[in-house]
Amino acid sequence: MSPSKNPRPEPSSSAPKQGSARSGAGAPRTAAAGAPVDSARPQIRPKAEGWQQPMDAEGRPKLQFAQPKVKQPPKHLADMTLDERTARAKELGISGFRAKQLSVHYFRHYTSDPEKMTDLPAETREQLVEEFLPPLLTEVRRLKTDDGATIKFLWRLFDGAMVESVLMRYRSRITLCISSQCGCGMNCPFCATGQNGLTRNMSSAEIVDQIVQANRAIAAGELDAPNAAEIADEADHAALGEETDFAESEESAAAGKGASSSSGVGPQRVSNIVFMGMGEPLANYKRVMNAVRRMVDPAPEGLGMSARGITISTVGLVPAIRKLAEENLPITFALSLHAPDDELRDELIPVNSRWKADEAIDAAYYYYKTTGRRVSIEYALIKDMNDHQWRAELLAEKLNARGRGWVHVNPIPLNPTPGSIWTSSEPEVMRAFVNRLESLGVPTTLRDTRGKEIDGACGQLAAAEE
């Protein structure tokens, strides 16, 4: 998969409304950092190419919130609390203690293999594993890049559905980008995942099993250390799920503790989770939250991870964002904004037809007010589409209007997807965009995503077998 070689820009017939109003009736302006004059650049409009974007009866991009009626995966101990597991064991006529032992095997030793469970009676092991640890994710393929510090896993689920997760080792943390749905119903034209619509929600245990399997691979020594170039890059770019303030905080040190090896060579299990794989996590709210509980609950209830290291990213499902704010969990929240103006966001993020950019930003601000956790705004920079200086200004104006110090903007260069006519912004345009936001008092960090060579970067996960 490679970026489209011949992007076909479609200059818009009229200048963007806010843009011309804001820049003095379209008068040419030069950005502070000497960026290209905005008015000399066209306004490309989003357009799906190479695939047909499904439309609803009113001719708008189709949105799928509910999952199709399909068979659900078998129940696994990671779907249940420890109390529920114990009760289930008793129902089966087994001692409740066995549920706890199985939980230790799964959450602490990352094993579902009855052979290794020597503390369990040999005659009942198989039955216990069958009941509580049915196979959920079968590895189909694994691709490595960055000298082995990044691994993309392709998993087959019980019904043949496929999902991907991406494991990345940095100097002081290991981040796993996980999927929450098979496919996605949000239909964003620049993202590969949405191109086949939503197959189904993943169960809580399927979500959690991505982490357990990643931990198993790490424990087996299969994830290499980042090379010098990666480490240098890491210093330059704040990484997902670990904002700069978090990295320095005491909580972060505490979060790292359980995950670090005593030899000081960095963590030996996944320390950070980003819900930035396939799917819209807030459209699968109940199962995702149940999975998050399993991630943070201490073993043997769950994995004992720090909630602060878990990032939930959303297209902007406003009621769900507000609900999330009230969960009383200090997880990190990220909003995929990608455009501050509704004119463009309506086309780029189809869910904007339900909740407008301002409502989504209000909800993000509510998240901050309720949790005290600084939120992230994600912004994929797309050449001549959303990278104009006036948009940086409008974004800063909208964020600053709500307050200071509550938000951090994370622009990233657009990653190529099949059929995309668009490309990433030019480096100097990206720099100018970042500088403009910074000069207006908005903390901004340009970051690059890992895994592009293996189609493992943001928006590239499509889970195809070939």
Site for ligand SAH contains 132 (CB under 6 A): no
* 188 annotated ligand-binding residue: yes
Alpha-carbon gap, residue 65 to 309, rounded angstroms: 27
Per-residue binding string, ligand SAH, 255-284, x by CB under 6 A, is ---------------------x---x----
Site for ligand SAH contains 459 (CB under 6 A): yes
Task: Report yes or no: 420 and 4 within 8 Å, Cβ to Cβ.
Answer: yes
Given the residues 131, 164, 234, 243, the one annotated as active site: 164
* 240 annotated ligand-binding residue: no
- To the query of whether residue 177 is one of the catalytic residues in this protein, the response is no
* 191 annotated ligand-binding residue: yes
Q: How far is the CB of 424 from ligand SAH (least distance, A)?
A: 8
Site for ligand SAH contains 252 (CB under 6 A): no
Per-residue binding string, ligand SAH, 147-186, x by CB under 6 A, is ---------------------------------------x
Tokens of 411: 């622009």
Alpha-carbon gap, residue 430 to 389, rounded angstroms: 10
Q: Token match 């293999």: residue?
A: 113
Which amino acid belongs to residue 234? E
Site for ligand SAH contains 462 (CB under 6 A): no
* 177 annotated ligand-binding residue: no
**Coil, strand or helix at 462:** coil
* 338 annotated ligand-binding residue: yes
Site for ligand SAH contains 375 (CB under 6 A): no
* 280 annotated ligand-binding residue: yes
Q: How far is the CB of 142 from ligand SAH (least distance, A)?
A: 21
Tokens of 45: 């409009």
Stretch that binds ligand SAH, among 33-41, 254-262, 298-306, 411-419 (CB under 6 A): 411-419
Site for ligand SAH contains 378 (CB under 6 A): yes
- Judged by CB, which is closer to ligand SAH: 129, or 412? 412
* 279 annotated ligand-binding residue: yes
Tokens of 262: 């005593």
Closest CA to 364 of 374, 379, 354: 374
Window 301-340: residues binding ligand SAH (CB under 6 A): 313-315, 336
Alpha-carbon gap, residue 153 to 137, rounded angstroms: 10
Binding-site size, ligand SAH (CB under 6 A): 17
Q: Token match 């590895």: residue?
A: 139
Candidates 132, 155, 170, 190; binder of ligand SAH (CB under 6 A) is 190
Site for ligand SAH contains 295 (CB under 6 A): no
Tokens of 162: 């496929």
Phi-psi group of 166: left, alpha or beta (phi > 0 → left; psi -120 to 50 → alpha; rest → beta): beta
Q: Token match 């392709």: residue?
A: 154
The helix-helix angle for 389-402 and 357-371 (nearest 10°) equals 40
- To the query of whether residue 458 is one of the catalytic residues in this protein, the response is yes
Number of H helices, E strands in the chain: 14, 11
Q: Where are the beta strands (DSSP E) in 296-387?
A: 310-314, 332-336, 375-381
- Judged by CB, which is closer to ligand SAH: 256, or 411? 411
Tokens of 298: 């201490």
Candidates 43, 332, 417, 445; binder of ligand SAH (CB under 6 A) is 417
Residue 309: partners with Cβ closer than 8 Å, 6 or more residues away: 173, 241, 242, 246, 252, 255, 271, 272, 273, 332
Given the residues 250, 251, 458, 465, the one annotated as active site: 458
Task: Report yes or no: 63 and 206 within 8 Å, Cβ to Cβ.
Answer: no
Q: Which positions are catalytic? A: 164, 458
Residue ranges that bind ligand SAH, judged by CB under 6 A: 186, 190-191, 276, 280, 313-315, 336, 378, 380, 412, 414-415, 417, 458-459
Annotated binding site for [4Fe-4S] cluster: 184, 188, 191
Annotated binding site for S-adenosyl-L-methionine: 279-280, 313, 336-338, 415
